[in-house]
């Protein structure tokens, strides 16, 4: 009697089919995980970009008296009537012996230039505060010394998903 050793062709085809099915499931899971991570990274990047711009604005705006705030053209004074798409202000940097302001900062302007939130001043300095900005809105809050700023940034993941991240910040400025 002859002993059969090894596998038949049918057994090998079944094993190959099961192996291919298992590899397909593993590949699909890995692809979904990678895509999810790409989207999450784009969302994080958009949030960090918006937060970086808002934090920088808040540090300077919190020092500005309401009488020194205007729209980005310098023509309309605070409080805002409706929405602004830029803001211009200066803040005190020094006082004299009588407590009167004797030294002011340069006039600072925050505005949108394409998809960049820009900070410029009348001393000639200019720098980008945030990239990928799709919306920049400034409004008066509940009181005259409150400023609401909304900044929306947008990032595209490597898998071509567009992530928009709106962030808002309320800033209470000096009320002279």
pLDDT in tens, the chain (176 residues): 566 678 889 999 999 999 999 999 999 999 888 888 988 888 899 899 899 999 999 988 888 887 788 888 888 888 777 888 899 988 888 888 888 888 888 899 999 999 999 999 988 899 999 999 999 999 988 888 888 999 999 999 888 989 899 999 999 887 65
Residue 1 is predicted with a pLDDT of 56
Residue 80 is predicted with a pLDDT of 75
Asked if residue 12 is part of any domain, the answer here is: no
Residue 2 is predicted with a pLDDT of 61
- Which H or E element spans position 32? helix 9-61
Q: Burial level of 30, CB count in 10 A (0-12/13-18/19+)?
A: exposed
Counted domains in the chain: 1
Asked if residue 168 is part of any domain, the answer here is: yes
Q: How far apart are the first and last CA of the chain?
A: 108
Asked if residue 2 is part of any domain, the answer here is: no
Asked if residue 25 is part of any domain, the answer here is: no
Residue 66 is predicted with a pLDDT of 77
Distances (CA, A) of 165 to 43, 70, 151, 156: 7, 27, 8, 11
Residue 7 phi, psi dihedral angles, 5° rounding: -115, 150
Asked if residue 6 is part of any domain, the answer here is: no
Asked if residue 15 is part of any domain, the answer here is: no
Asked if residue 26 is part of any domain, the answer here is: no
Q: pLDDT for 3-34, tens place per residue?
A: 667 888 999 999 999 999 999 999 999 988 88
- Strand pairing class (86-89; 116-121): unpaired
Neighbours of 173 (CB within 10 A): 22
- State the residue range of the domain holding 51: 32-172
């Amino acid at each position: 009697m002859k002993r059969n050793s090894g596998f038949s062709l049918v057994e090998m085809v079944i094993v190959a089919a099961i192996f291919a099915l298992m590899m397909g499931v593993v590949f699909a899971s890995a692809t979904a995980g990678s895509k999810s991570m790409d989207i999450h990274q784009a969302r994080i990047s958009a949030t960090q970009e918006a937060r970086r711009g808002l934090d920088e604005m808040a540090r300077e705006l919190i020092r500005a008296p309401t009488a020194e705030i205007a729209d980005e053209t310098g023509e309309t004074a605070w409080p805002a009537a409706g929405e602004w798409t830029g803001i211009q202000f200066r803040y005190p940097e020094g006082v004299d012996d009588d407590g009167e302001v004797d030294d002011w900062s340069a006039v600072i302007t925050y505005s949108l230039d394409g998809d960049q939130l820009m900070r410029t001043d009348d001393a000639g300095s200019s720098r980008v505060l945030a990239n990928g900005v799709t919306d920049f809105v400034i409004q008066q809050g509940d009181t005259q010394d409150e400023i609401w700023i909304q900044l929306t940034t947008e990032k595209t993941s490597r898998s071509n998903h567009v992530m928009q991240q709106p962030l808002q910040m309320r800033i209470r400025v000096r009320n002279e």
